[in-house]
Amino acid sequence: MPFDSDLTACASLVERADPDRFRAAMAAPVPARPVLFALYAFNVEVARAPWVTQEAMIAEMRLQWWRDALEEIAKGGIVRRHEVVTPLAHALDTDAAKALDRLVAARRWDIYRDPFEDADHFHAYLADTSGALMWAAAQGLGAGSEAEAPVRAFGTATGLARFLQAVPELEAQKRVPLVDGRAEAIAALCRETLSTLPTRAALRRAAGPGAPALTEGFLTPAILKQAARDPGRVAAGALQVNPARQSLLLWRWS
């Protein structure tokens, strides 16, 4: 896929809205960047769609627009002209486009103020958003089907780390972000998630050519370990990694 004006726009969008994924994409081999930037720009557009309006119906329409675009990509025919949709169509095959429809549908939770129904609902949200995104990227870069389970699991864990960082802002928006917000419950959730993750080396072996898709999770273990040790950091908005260590972790994962 040539790095044309559309992909340049995608990269600029990701740089502004999602700096961690931008750094991960820039650390990837040059041939992998078009797939990563197209998918990460798509994720930015979908993730912010529920938040740019107070009108639930308008937010629903914005998400439906993306579901319609994915349907066009899945059908393999004419796809609407758009600076993100056009390169996205080159990054996805039919199955990947259909799978990402669940990502868009899961974002409907962001429109409303209803809490998650239970722990399974919360996990499904993370799996269908961050987990699906990481797998779509790995698949687009050539990962085989045997990599799906571990890549999705790491993507889901990355979603948890990012979600915990967003808890203060969600609460400021009068949302109820966590099923159980007690410190001991947060710590237990993070410990359980960390205990099930393969090592970095095992993940990279499993992903094969799709390994650059894993790099967006370069801060995930560090963030989850922080929250497990000191869950009070979640409410305080203090889940952070200092810049020097961020650079080291990015280098290790890339």
Residues 246 and 226 occupy one common structural domain? yes
Same domain, 130 and 251: yes
Sole residue written with tokens 């629903």: 60
Q: How high is the pLDDT of residue 238?
A: 96
Instruction: Let me know whether 86 and 167 are in one domain.
Output: no
Residue 187: exposure state from Cβ atoms within 10 A (0-12, 13-18, ≥19): middle
Question: Are residue 6 and residue 131 in the same domain, yes or no?
Answer: no
Q: How many domains does the chain have?
A: 2
Which one of 112, 135, 168 terminates a domain?
112
Inter-residue contact 8 to 14 (CB < 8 Å): no
Residues 125 and 240 in one domain: yes
- The phi-psi region of residue 114 (left if phi > 0; otherwise alpha if psi is between -120 and 50; otherwise beta) is beta
How many C-beta neighbours within 10 Å does residue 119 have? 13
For CA atoms 211, 212, 216, 220, the dihedral sign is positive
For residue 140, which of 103, 101, 100 has the smallest C-alpha distance?
Answer: 100
End-to-end Cα separation, the chain, in angstroms? 21
Spell out the per-residue pLDDT of the chain, length 254, in tens.
667 899 999 999 999 999 999 999 999 999 999 999 999 999 999 999 999 888 999 999 999 999 999 999 998 888 889 999 999 999 998 989 998 999 999 999 999 989 999 999 999 999 999 999 999 999 999 999 999 999 999 999 999 999 999 999 999 999 999 999 999 999 999 999 999 999 999 999 999 999 999 999 999 999 999 999 999 999 999 999 999 999 999 999 99
What per-residue confidence (pLDDT) applies to 79?
86
pTM across the whole model: 0.96
Give φ, ψ of 197 to 5 degrees: -80, 135
Alpha helices in 107-219 (DSSP H): 119-126, 132-140, 148-172, 183-196, 200-207
Q: Within this chain, do residues 32 and 2 fall inside the same structural domain, yes or no?
A: yes
Q: Which pLDDT does position 152 carry in this prediction?
A: 96
pLDDT of residue 78: 80
**What residues contact residue 61 under an 8 Å CB cut-off, 6+ apart?**
none
Query: Do residue 2 and residue 97 come from a single domain?
Result: yes
Range(s) of the domain holding residue 139: 116-254
pLDDT for 177 equals: 95
Contact 1, 37 (CB under 8 A): no
**Residues 14, 79 share a domain:** yes
**Do residues 136 and 97 share a domain?**
no
- Indicate the residue among 88, 112, 136 that finishes a domain: 112
Do residue 83 and residue 2 come from a single domain? yes
Instruction: Give residue 1's pLDDT.
Output: 66
* Shared-domain flag, residues 106 and 152: no
The pLDDT score that the predictor gives to residue 15 is 97
Asked if 63 and 179 sit in the same domain, the reply is: no
Q: Residues 6 or more apart from 34 whose CB is under 8 A from it?
A: 1, 2, 3, 7, 87, 90, 91
